């Protein structure tokens, strides 16, 4: 099984996640919706998967926008185990 690594942004609500998706796509970033793992608590059950190598850049961009977030995470899936690190 191949290891998987990605960044994930959680949001306080669906409206915020949709706003973030639109802004990031307008800036040319590759993003997609993904269900939040149960250990990440946020009112919106979905987060935006983002390229791990762009997480710092995307975080700076989002923090300058009117979009509110509930957290940024680094996700690694290795040998079927999910390792989640908060980037707060």
Using pLDDT thresholds of 50, 70 and 90, give the confidence band for residue 3: confident
> Whole domain around residue 39: which residue ranges?
4-86
CATH number of domain containing 58:
3.30.70
Q: How far apart are CA 85 and CA 44, in angstroms?
A: 19
Taking only the tens place, the pLDDT of each residue in 58-69 is: 999 999 999 999
Question: How many domains are there within the chain?
Answer: 1
- What is the reported pTM? 0.90
| Whether pLDDT at 1 is above 70 | no
Q: How far apart are CA 88 and CA 81, in angstroms?
A: 22
């Amino acid at each position: 099984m191949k290891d998987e690594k990605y960044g994930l942004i959680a949001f306080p609500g669906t409206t915020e996640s949709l706003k973030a998706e639109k802004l990031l796509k307008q800036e040319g970033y590759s993003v997609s919706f993904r269900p939040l793992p149960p250990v990440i608590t946020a009112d919106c059950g979905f987060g935006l998967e983002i390229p791990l190598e762009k997480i710092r850049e995307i975080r700076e961009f989002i923090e300058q926008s009117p979009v509110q977030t509930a957290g940024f995470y680094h996700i690694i899936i290795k040998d079927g185990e999910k390792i989640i690190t908060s980037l707060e």
